[in-house]
A and B are shown apart, each in its own frame.
Chain A
Amino acid sequence: MTGLFSEVFLAALLFGAVTAAVPLLLAGLGEQMSEKAGVLNIGIEGMMIFGAYLGFVGAYYSGSLWLGFLVGALGGMAVAAVMALLCVRLGLNQIVIGIALTLGLEGLTALLHHFQFSRSYPRLPAADKTPIPLLADIPVLGPALFQHHLVVYFAVALVFVMICIYRRTQLGLNLQAAGDKPAALDVAGIDVIRTRTIAVLTTGALAGLGGAYLANVGAGIFIPFITNGAGFLGIVLAMLARGRPLWVLFGALLFGVCLSLTTAMQVAGINMPTDVIQMLPFLAVMIMLVLFGRKASLPAALGLPYERGAR
Chain B
Amino acid sequence: MSVETTPASATALEPSLPEGGRGDLVRRLVMTLGPILAALVIAGCILLAVGVNPLTYYGFVIERGLLSPLGVQQTLTRMAPLLFLAAGLIVAFRAGMWNLGGDGQFLLGAVSAAAAGPFLVQFLPVWLALVCAFLLATAVAMLWSLLPALLRAYQGVNEIITTLMMTFLGTSLANVLVKLAFLDPSTTVPQTRTLPVEDRLPRLFDTTISSGLVLGLVAIVAVHLMMTRTAFGLKLQVVGANPRAAVHSGLGVPTLTIAVFAISAGLAGLAGAVDILGVQGNVRADWNPAYAMAVIPMVFLARMNGFAAIGFVFLLSVLSIGGESAARRLGVPHHFTLVLVSIVLIMLAVAEYIDHHFIKTRRV
Contact = CB atoms under 8 A, between A and B. Distances in A.
A64 interface: no
Contacts of A283: 169
A276 B161 contact: no
Given A86-B346, A110-B335, A111-B332, A236 B165 contact: yes
A100 B39 CA distance: 13
A100 B342 contact: yes
A228 to B, nearest CB: 8
A108 B46 contact: yes
A168 interface: no
A269 interface: no
Nearest to A297: B156
B349 A285 contact: no
Nearest to B347: A100
Nearest to A95: B98
B247 interface: no
Mostly helix, strand, loop or mixed at chain B's interface? helix
Interface string A284-305: 0110011001101010000000
B204 interface: no
Contacts of A150: none
A104 to B, nearest CB: 3
A167 interface: no
Contacts of A286: 147, 162, 165-166, 169
B349 A96 contact: yes
A108 B339 contact: yes
Chain B interface size, under 10 / 10 to 19 / 20 to 34 / 35 or more: 35 or more
A92 B349 CA distance: 7
A100 B345 contact: yes
A98 B165 CA distance: 17
Contact of A293 (B157, B164, B300): B157
Interface string A80-111: 00100010001111011101110110111011
A278 interface: yes
Interface residues on A, range: 35 or more
Given A273-B176, A276-B172, A96 B339 contact: no
A220 interface: no
Given A92-B353, A273-B179, A111 B333 contact: yes
B151 A290 contact: yes
B297 interface: yes
A229 B164 contact: yes
B342 A104 contact: yes
A294 B150 CA distance: 11
Nearest to A233: B165
B350 A232 contact: no
Given A93-B13, A103-B297, A111 B336 contact: yes
Contacts of B332: 111, 114
Given A112-B50, A293-B151, A97 B162 contact: no
B168 interface: yes
Given A278-B172, A289-B151, A103 B50 contact: no
B295 to A, nearest CB: 11
B17 interface: no
B315 interface: no
Interface in B329-359: 332-333, 335-339, 341-343, 345-346, 349-350, 353
Which residue, of A82, A224, A286, has the highest number of chain B Cβ atoms within 10 A? A286
B342 A101 contact: yes
Given A90-B353, A224-B335, A294 B157 contact: yes
Given A111-B335, A286-B162, A97 B155 contact: no
Contacts of B259: none
A275 B285 CA distance: 11
A171 interface: no
Given A273-B176, A275-B176, 19 more contacts: A86-B349, A93-B13, A93-B349, A99-B100, A100-B342, A101-B342, A101-B346, A103-B338, A103-B341, A106-B338, A111-B50, A111-B335, A279-B173, A286-B162, A289-B161, A289-B165, A293-B155, A294-B157, A298-B158
Query: Which 8 pairs, one residue from A and one from B, show the smallest C-beta to C-beta distance?
Result: A104-B342, A107-B338, A293-B157, A107-B339, A110-B335, A107-B335, A275-B175, A100-B342
9 contacts: A95-B98, A99-B100, A101-B342, A103-B294, A106-B335, A115-B50, A282-B172, A290-B147, A294-B156
Interface of A: 40, 42, 82, 86, 90-93, 95-97, 99-101, 103-104, 106-108, 110-112, 114-115, 224, 228-229, 232, 235-236, 239, 273, 275-276, 278-279, 282-283, 285-286, 289-290, 293-294, 296, 298
